[in-house]
Copies of this chain bind each other. A is one copy, B any other.
Amino acid sequence: MKLMFISPITDENFEEKSRQESLKYVSTGTEIEVRRVPYGTASIEGAMDEALAQPGIIKVGMDAQTEGFDGIFVSCMGDPGVNALREAVDIPVVGPCRTTMLYCADIAARFSVLTVTDGVIPIIETIAHELGVAGKLASCKAINIPVLELVDLDRTVNALFKLAIEAIEKYDAEVLMLGCTGMIGVDISLRNQLLNAGYDIPVLYPVPISIRYLETLVKNKLSQSRMTYVKPLDKDRSIFNMLNR
């Protein structure tokens, strides 16, 4: 099995870190390739960034199918381009936001999302509605640290801890999901800090579980339904000519 891991922002560090991390997440026998979008935005922190990232994500995803990949993962919590790619290709396409919400819906009564900036919140809330689990979304709040500053792990974990306490005490969350794929390596420390504070609550980092979920789809020859994600009609799409010239 050969999976495409799309790094949907033009930042090179994120691509490189994703490359190192992704290898840890796959099963024996699965190959995974990380590929950065050729055009887009430096980071994704709202609907405008998402809109600008999507042409690049579609380009990489369509190439992936042509090159024989078996499944596609788009590494951003707004799931940008996932619906578009699900139309464009036949292989399964997975986004971390919707996938992780499903795990949360299963293992607890209510979940909260801890994300980066306020601009991302309505995107994540809409995904909860689209997916059908909005009734279990206790809250979605932001630490308001931009994506590219998450590398300061101490600051990030401290801010997440405060938000987690609010999610539990004000909003009755019973499981937490990290709301940015850039929040690498903080789930364990956050979980432990919460345990010390008296809260035995799971903290889900979306990337590894989403990739396993994608592997399961591929392994079982499943893909998104063609009745929901209809094959695009042939037509002139001039923007691609301009971007790929």
* A residues apposed to B, CB below 8 Å: 10, 27-29, 39-43, 45-56, 58, 81, 83-88, 92, 94, 98-99, 102-103, 105-109, 117-119, 121-122, 125-126, 129-136, 139, 146, 168, 172, 174-175, 199-202, 204, 208-209, 212-213, 215-217, 219-220, 222-230, 232-233, 235-240, 242-243
Contacts and interface: CB of A to CB of B under 8 A. Distances in A.
A41 B236 CA distance: 6
26 contacts: A45-B232, A46-B84, A46-B232, A47-B83, A48-B232, A49-B232, A51-B84, A52-B55, A52-B239, A102-B102, A107-B217, A107-B224, A107-B225, A108-B224, A108-B225, A108-B228, A117-B233, A118-B230, A122-B228, A133-B133, A146-B233, A200-B227, A209-B216, A209-B220, A213-B213, A242-B243
A46 B81 CA distance: 12
Nearest to A241: B39
Contacts of A133: 105, 131-133
A126 B125 contact: no
Nearest to A146: B233
Nearest to A92: B107
Contacts of A107: 92, 217, 222-225, 228
